Amino acid sequence: GAAMLRGGTAVLRRAASGGGHGQGSAQPLEPSLLRFLVCPLSKRPLRYEEATNELINEELGIAYPIIDGIPNMIPEAARTTQKKPPAEGSKEP
Amino acid sequence: RGLAAGPEMHFGFQTVTEAERREKIYQVFESVAKKYDVMNDSMTLGIHRVWKDILVHKMNPSPGTLLLDVAGGTGDIAFRFINYVRSVRERQLQRKLRHHQNLSWQEIAESYQEDKSKSLGGSQVVVCDINKEMLKVGKEKAQNLGYTEGLSWVLGNAEELPFDDDKFDVYTIAFGIRNVTRIDLALQEAYRVLKPGGRFLCLEFSHVSNPLLSSLYDLYSFQVIPVLGEVIAGDWKSYQYLVESIRRFPPQEELKAMIEDAGFLKVDYQNLNLGIVAIHSGFKL
């Protein structure tokens, strides 16, 4: 039979604190996904930025948003990031 | 609109540019997402459930399998996968328990902790779809049906997957490859993300060679399905597209050749319902 869909609208909220299961309105990224996810363009690893709830490709300077716990890995949806000065955070090789 | 640059492609029986095709297909699924499951049941008289069951049984996943389900929007394959490995795991644990009949409760409890404590035995499925609405429906369904473990959702393009090489044991695409604009790219990506030894499985509408069944099928497709689409989903055009896209899709042997071109070996197909649907399988060896 048809699945009964609750008319709940997902509220967009940035995850303030990481960890835990994303069943509430704050939906962080499923941690196991980080094992598999890469940038669809360069196939290179991504960095999860908790503050903005995005997956960052440092090399290309783009960020993929995570909405309702679902990472949007379509290149057209990514935004370009400003190059940050090296003092901010550590650069991983 | 028709003067846009770019190669001409088909959208059902219309001729469009590549960009137009992607846009139109996105709109089709955006429009049908909420009624997708109901329409599947109505159009196929529930038989699509059997086809999907057969796909997962053919897969025969063991606990610990990593599955990538592409174009898996509303989760039908993912849920079946979870159910399957869960029941296999249960049987495994029961067998273990039977063999431990002469042990103390302490020892039995310890043996449980040795195995992966989760009921899925480490199995995981990633559902990847290009359409936000379809994923939304799938995620809600998962919550309503109680699927929380071992399941993740990614918005991505089958032609340009956001996954690392050699990662998955199985790649499935059920009733999705027909809607991909560059099937060759999707197949190449499938090959890339599979582990060596991994399996590609495609469930899709195919070609009926039996002339009597073919006529009946055409009649049903062109006369009944769009009407159902209008009555149930208020959307004749999307279901017209569906029917036309099935007719435009390569038949069994041609799809087999395309899968082989991507590098897969031991490529084979299995007709269901005399070719109304076919399951293609290949291995990355």
Higher pLDDT, B278 or B93: B278
Record: contact A40-B41, CB cut-off 8 A: no
Q: Compute the average pLDDT of residues B166-176.
A: 97
* Average pLDDT in chain A: 70
End-to-end CA distance of chain B: 45
Record: contact B154-A4, CB cut-off 8 A: no
DSSP B146: T
pLDDT tens per residue across span B60-105: 999 999 999 999 989 999 999 999 999 998 888 888 778 776 667 7
Record: contact B135-A36, CB cut-off 8 A: no
| Strands B194-205 and B168-174, sheet pairing | parallel
Flag whether pLDDT at A47 surpasses 90: yes
CA B170 to chain centre: 11
Flag whether pLDDT at A49 surpasses 50: yes
pLDDT for res A82: 66
* Average pLDDT in chain B: 90
Helices B36-44 and B225-233, axial angle in degrees (round to 10): 150
pLDDT for res B70: 98
CB atoms near residue B263 (< 10 Å): 16
| Strands B151-155 and B124-129, sheet pairing | parallel
pLDDT class for B237, splitting at 50, 70, 90? confident
Q: What are B65's two structure tokens?
A: 């399998």
pLDDT class for A81, splitting at 50, 70, 90? confident
CA distance A93 to chain B (A): 17
pLDDT for res A20: 39
Record: contact A38-B164, CB cut-off 8 A: yes
pTM of the full predicted structure? 0.83
Alpha-carbon distance B180 to B202, whole Å?
13
CATH class of B35-92+123-284: alpha beta
C-alpha gyration radius of chain B: 21
**B121 near B92, Cβ under 8 Å?**
yes
Q: Compute the average pLDDT of residues B179-199.
A: 97
pLDDT for res B3: 47
Flag whether pLDDT at A86 surpasses 70: no
Task: Give the up-direction half-sphere exposure of residue A10: CA atoms within 13 A in the CB hemisphere.
Answer: 22
| CA distances in angstroms from B109 to B93, B96, B97, B104, B106, listed in the order given | 12, 12, 10, 9, 5
pLDDT class for A93, splitting at 50, 70, 90? very low
Task: Quickly list DSSP for B258-273.
Answer: HHHHTT-EEEEEEEEG
CA distance A61 to chain B (A): 16
**B171 near B255, Cβ under 8 Å?**
no
User: Given the structure tokens 């499938």, which residue do they identify?
Assistant: B190
Alpha-carbon distance A57 to A81, whole Å?
9
CA A74 to chain centre: 12
SS3 B33: helix
The rounded percent of chain B whose pLDDT value lies above 70 is 93
Question: Residue B150: which residues within 8 A CB-CB, separation 6 or more?
Answer: B82, B118, B120, B123, B124, B125
CATH number of A31-80: 2.20.25.10
Q: Provide the ipTM.
A: 0.84
Alpha-carbon distance B88 to B69, whole Å?
20
Flag whether pLDDT at B13 surpasses 70: yes
pLDDT tens per residue across span B243-261: 888 888 999 999 999 999 9
Task: Quickly list DSSP for B45-94.
Answer: TTHHHHHHHHHHHHH-PPTT-EEEEET-TT-HHHHHHHHHHHHHHHHHHH
Instruction: Considering only the beta carbons, identify the residue of A6, A36, A41 that sits closest to B126.
Output: A36
CA distance A47 to chain B (A): 13
Q: Compute the average pLDDT of residues A20-28.
A: 47
Flag whether pLDDT at A64 surpasses 90: yes
pLDDT for res B103: 65
pLDDT for res A16: 37
Q: Compute the average pLDDT of residues B267-281.
A: 96
pLDDT for res A6: 41
Alpha-carbon distance B259 to A7, whole Å?
41
Strand ranges in B130-283 using DSSP code E only, listed in sequence order: 151-155, 168-174, 194-205, 265-272, 277-283
Task: Quickly list DSSP for A23-74.
Answer: TSSS-PPPGGGGGTBB-TTT--B-EEETTTTEEEETTTTEEEEEETTEEB--
Higher pLDDT, B115 or B106: B106
The rounded percent of chain A whose pLDDT value lies above 70 is 57
Contacts with B135 from chain A: Cβ below 8 Å: 70
SS3 B125: strand
pLDDT for res B1: 42
pLDDT for res B6: 63
Helices B132-145 and B36-44, axial angle in degrees (round to 10): 90
Q: C-alpha angle B279/B66/B63, rounded to 5°? A: 95
